[in-house]
Amino acid sequence: MKKLSTFLTICLFFFVSNCFAALPVTDNYFRAWDSNSKLLSGGCLYTYEPGTTTKVTTYSNSLGTVANTNPITLDGDGKASVYANAPIKFVLYEPDPSGICKETPSTTLIESRDNVNSVQYVDWYRNIAELSAATDNVVGKTYYTQGYTTPGDGGGAPYLIKTVADYGKTPDGYVDHWADAAHTIVAILLPAHGLNIKTCGAAGDNVHDDYPAISAAINYAVAKGISSIYFPSSIYLLLSGTINFDTGIYLQGLGFHGDGNTSVIRQTGAGLDCIDLSTTQVLRSSFIKDMSLISVSGHVLNVKYGISGFHLLNVDLETLSTGKSVLYSNLPTLGIYNSRFISGNWTVPVGSTVNPVDIVVSATNFNENLFESLVANNSTNERFIRITCTDTASYLTNNTFRNINFENCKGGGIEVYNQKSLKLDGLSFWDAGVYTKSLVYLGANSGYETIATTINRVSRNGDSRADATVFDIQVVGGEDTVYSQCFTPVNSGGLDSGSYDFGGKRFIQIGLLYGVTGNGNPGGITLDPANGASLQSAKIATKSQSIMSGGTLTIASGEITLTGYGRYEIDTESAAGSDDLDTITYGAVTDGYILHIRPYNEDHDIVIKNGTGNIILSGNADFTMILAYDNLTLMWVSAFGKWVEQSRMKFI
């Protein structure tokens, strides 16, 4: 244990669990942590005379011959050597974005302590081993350890000394430790808002097994109400077990976070998954963000019981096994709800024989989920994402797949069943060569067809389909599906003709349909009139055709009355400079019909009112059309008794 009486030595425990200490003649430094238990690299430390804003000089050596700057900029480990021989006022601020602390503080204040003097001793150790070997630790006293000096040494936190009898259990060597050689007293980690995994003894050296340390950290965080566990940039190896986000009790709000894809958890245990998100209790409002997760021979993430409100943010997932998935769930007890999987590279090896995302649920156990801004790699035999339901009398509702880039996915992109109000938006397919399965496949189990689906911005770039049985979009039974910006001319970033099979049901196309052949139907679309099929659109057109106009309508007391379906130009009442349109009427409007409107006169602004009459607009806000090229597309939804916006164009 080190003590200093001739020079100032302090350790302040902030409300956000920051700690800094001017340490003595050997191994001396001031160190600070932020609220997530991350070292406060670049923090700005100001020193003043007590009770004033008059700066005072401190020194970086115990002889007082080398002066510090004021402010002092903490190094990459949140450290600085600080010595003084008189009482002093310390003020700590957040790092300056420029990387250089200013003469006058310009960032957020973390903590201030006044009149700190040389009689304030700190008892400290270099590491846990030194603390455990000590012979003079005092029961009831708090000791501080530097920590993080060698892989797996733990520490970097304060510890309270208790007797074994008072503590009630044998220390595990991760969050609690023996505090004497005779094993009569225990050093117990004091809780904070965040927990650094290296405090719990994780080595992060890609050599030692970090599974026991991570498991101990999860148990400790749950018991103490800690919300996040921080994984500094390192490779954390798992050899002996699967990380389990489940401690046998109700678990809510716990998360892992790192420094991006340089914070890696790598599972190398034979057949072991990397992380089980739940086993006996539903996992609620928890997260993993800014990390990479890898499994050599198992699944990466396995949902066994259920998750709700889970967030996977900026996380790369990779399995090295051709028979395992990056996200897997087989009949979870409570399913997957209201969860977000946003941003990351998800990768399987070339030749994978399973769906990289493979989720099988029963009943209505997959709802309100979002998959967004992902890169899906190397699904060469099966579609990358498969969501299916074993219950033949249930729908999976309100799921969204947005802005997903499928690269080298010969087996296709998305395969889903029993979906209601499904949204597919911004799906892009690249570099597969020849696709062997339909890129998007909407299936049905025992008549529970895909209904009320929106498909927008799907593109296949430069590759081809193996034969006539492989489609870009294939629907096996489906009702009331809206397609937008998919049917575009060949070689303009959309899908080509002859690449759709819509299963003989009703579909609604927003905008132009190019490549028309036969009886006015787009080339390659299969429609079976005997099965109640119809294709309804503002206009089915070749490249040389345009949408036919229904004429000009003039607003009367906020209302227009249609004379049929199609496109209309709208003028203001009495040629006013601006007029509101809140109600659109038509004698026999049918569910799913499309209306397209634009201004008649650029000097007469048309303000489409949201919610005032029978019009619902995106964002619940009004929309003003001024220029002739401004336009709005609406669809009649009988269930609401409203015209609902499908798309708009606004020129500025």
Q: Which residue has the higher pLDDT, 299 or 64?
A: 299
The pLDDT, as a whole number, for residue 34 is 65
Compute the distance between CA of residue 383 and CA of residue 424 in angstroms, rounded to an integer: 15
Instruction: Tell me 548's DSSP state.
Output: P
The pLDDT, as a whole number, for residue 160 is 92
The pLDDT, as a whole number, for residue 53 is 92
Which residue type is seen at 40?
A: L
Judged by average pLDDT, the poorest of 249-263, 336-350, 468-482, 618-632 is: 468-482
**Reported confidence tier of residue 127, pLDDT bands at 50, 70, 90:** confident
The pLDDT, as a whole number, for residue 437 is 92
Stated pTM of the model: 0.67
Q: Which residue has the higher pLDDT, 380 or 156?
A: 380
The pLDDT, as a whole number, for residue 511 is 33
Judged by average pLDDT, the poorest of 399-413, 490-504, 553-567 is: 490-504
31 phi and psi angles, rounded to 5 deg: -135, 140
Beta strand pairing call for 464-465 and 434-435 = parallel
Q: Render pLDDT for 208-238 as a digit per residue (tens, 0 to 9).
A: 999 999 999 999 998 888 889 999 999 999 9
Ramachandran region, residue 472 (left: φ > 0; alpha: ψ -120 to 50; beta: rest): alpha
> Looking at residues 77-104, what average pLDDT do you find?
85
Compute the distance between CA of residue 177 and CA of residue 160 in angstroms, rounded to an integer: 10
The pLDDT, as a whole number, for residue 447 is 62
Per 3-state DSSP, the chain is made up of helix, strand and coil in percentages (nearest 5) of: 5, 40, 50
CB–CB of 32/92 below 8 Å?
yes
SS3 assignment for 411-441:
CCCEEEECEECCEEEEEEEECCCEECCCCEE
**Reported confidence tier of residue 650, pLDDT bands at 50, 70, 90:** confident
The pLDDT, as a whole number, for residue 477 is 59
Compute the distance between CA of residue 523 and CA of residue 514 in angstroms, rounded to an integer: 9
**Reported confidence tier of residue 481, pLDDT bands at 50, 70, 90:** low
The pLDDT, as a whole number, for residue 637 is 80
Question: What value does the mean pLDDT of the chain take?
Answer: 80
* Alpha carbon distances (Å) from 453 to 274, 378, 508, 626: 34, 27, 10, 31
Q: Residue 480 corresponds to which tokens in the numbers above?
A: 């009331």
**Reported confidence tier of residue 542, pLDDT bands at 50, 70, 90:** very low
Compute the distance between CA of residue 521 and CA of residue 484 in angstroms, rounded to an integer: 16
Nearest to 535 by CA among 590, 592, 589: 592
CB–CB of 288/236 below 8 Å?
no
Type and span of the H or E element at 567: strand 566-571
Compute the distance between CA of residue 40 and CA of residue 503 in angstroms, rounded to an integer: 59
> Looking at residues 14-43, what average pLDDT do you find?
52
**Taking the mean position of all CA atoms in its chain, how far away is CA 147?**
31
> Looking at residues 618-622, what average pLDDT do you find?
83
Q: Where does residue 188 rank: exposed (0-12), middle (13-18), buried (19+ CB within 10 A)?
A: middle
- The yes-or-no verdict on residue 342 having pLDDT over 90 is yes
**Reported confidence tier of residue 33, pLDDT bands at 50, 70, 90:** low
Q: Render pLDDT for 231-282 as a digit per residue (tens, 0 to 9).
A: 999 999 999 999 998 655 555 678 999 999 999 999 999 999 999 988 777 8
Q: Which residue has the higher pLDDT, 146 or 151?
A: 151
The pLDDT, as a whole number, for residue 88 is 85
Q: Render pLDDT for 507-522 as a digit per residue (tens, 0 to 9).
A: 433 333 322 222 333 3
**Reported confidence tier of residue 541, pLDDT bands at 50, 70, 90:** very low
Q: Which residue has the higher pLDDT, 584 or 125?
A: 584
**Reported confidence tier of residue 123, pLDDT bands at 50, 70, 90:** low
The pLDDT, as a whole number, for residue 473 is 82
Q: Residue 143 corresponds to which tokens in the numbers above?
A: 């000791």
DSSP of 304-346, one letter per residue? Answer: SSEEES-EEEEEEEEE--TT--SEEEES-SSEEES-EEEEEEE
SS3 assignment for 259-314:
CCCCEEEEECCCCCCCEEEECCCCEECCEEEEEEEEECCCCCEEECCEEECCEEEE
* Alpha carbon distances (Å) from 379 to 351, 370, 374: 7, 20, 14
> Looking at residues 64-75, what average pLDDT do you find?
90
Q: Residue 492 corresponds to which tokens in the numbers above?
A: 């303009």
Express as a percent the part of the chain with pLDDT over 90: 46
